[in-house]
């Protein structure tokens, strides 16, 4: 175990979103869903799941949709629970999982972001030291990403998320959300969460993790936040696979 036995941590359920169409990776994703595309001989999702080993958390839930049965079949022997949630936005999938699971908190992860296990340890440490409050970690990517978010972190809290004119290298990599806060988000966003139903002022924040965070801020949820100096690797377009191969060899194989 790399994390001491901690009652707070044992009540956290990791939630991994793995239901996207992977349109920017076609034609590769015509036959395999993005989470099963190989990097250094293993599926992308394998590395995400492996980063959770030994952290003392509940078994992860993986949200699936596009070619989800292939994902389920590949990992059927692992201690993983799959939720088939077709035609949901990412935010809707998060909220629906939280509403149907008794866990106190949820560790939000993406199936296309490779993260060393030490990043998981960092957010769990922060969450424990913060007394079980909502906690987010941001990382600076090695190059400019494809998003325009600017994360305003002051005195250990997330003050705001704003949209810049240019793309930035910063990325939300891990987020622990309490059940209470997610209920506030649900009450705020309503029963359906998609581009047509979300408040006009939030339409620029898409319908995933950033919408969840922005909604928490709008509902005055105090989200503990920190920018970490730990390398991560996003896989969004075909050119990213070469970087991912090198990243796995340097940061993940011996973790």
Q: What is the 3-state secondary structure (H, E, C) of 42-54?
A: EEHHHHHHHCCCC
Confidence of residue 169 (pLDDT cuts 50, 70, 90): confident
Helix (H, G, I), strand (E, B), or coil: what is residue 81? strand
pTM reported for the whole predicted model:
0.93
Is residue 3 predicted with pLDDT exceeding 60?
no
Burial of 209 (0-12, 13-18, 19+ CB in 10 A): buried
The token pair at 255 is: 């973790």
Please state whether 138 falls in left (phi above 0), alpha (psi between -120 and 50) or beta. Answer: beta
Spell out the domains of the chain, with CATH numbers in brackets: 9-252 (3.90.550.10)
Is residue 145 predicted with pLDDT exceeding 60?
yes
How far is the C-alpha of 135 from the C-alpha of 222, rounded, in Å?
9
Residue with tokens 């910063």: 170
Confidence of residue 175 (pLDDT cuts 50, 70, 90): very high
Q: For the chain, what is the mean pLDDT?
A: 91
């Amino acid at each position: 175990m790399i994390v001491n036995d901690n009652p707070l941590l044992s009540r956290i359920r990791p939630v991994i979103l793995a239901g996207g169409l992977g349109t920017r990776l076609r034609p590769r994703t015509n036959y395999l869903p993005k989470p099963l595309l190989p990097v250094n001989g293993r599926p992308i999702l394998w590395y995400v799941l492996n980063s959770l080993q030994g952290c003392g958390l509940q078994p992860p839930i993986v949200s699936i949709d596009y070619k989800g049965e292939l994902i389920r079949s590949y990992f059927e022997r692992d201690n993983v629970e799959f939720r088939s949630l077709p035609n949901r936005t990412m935010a809707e999938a998060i909220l629906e999982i939280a509403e149907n699971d008794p866990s106190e908190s949820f560790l939000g992860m993406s199936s296309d972001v490779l993260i060393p296990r030490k990043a998981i340890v960092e957010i769990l440490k922060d969450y424990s030291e913060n007394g079980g409050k909502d906690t987010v970690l941001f990382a600076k990517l090695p190059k400019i990403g494809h998003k325009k978010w600017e994360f305003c972190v002051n005195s250990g809290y997330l003050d705001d998320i704003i949209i810049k004119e240019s793309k930035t290298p910063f990325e939300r990599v891990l987020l622990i959300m309490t059940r209470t806060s997610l209920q506030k988000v649900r009450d705020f966003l309503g029963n359906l969460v998609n581009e047509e139903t979300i408040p006009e002022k939030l339409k620029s924040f898409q319908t995933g993790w950033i919408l969840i965070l922005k909604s928490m801020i709008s509902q005055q949820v105090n989200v503990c936040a920190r920018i970490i100096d730990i390398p991560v690797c996003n896989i969004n377009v075909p050119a990213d696979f070469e970087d991912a191969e090198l990243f796995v060899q340097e940061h993940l194989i011996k973790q």
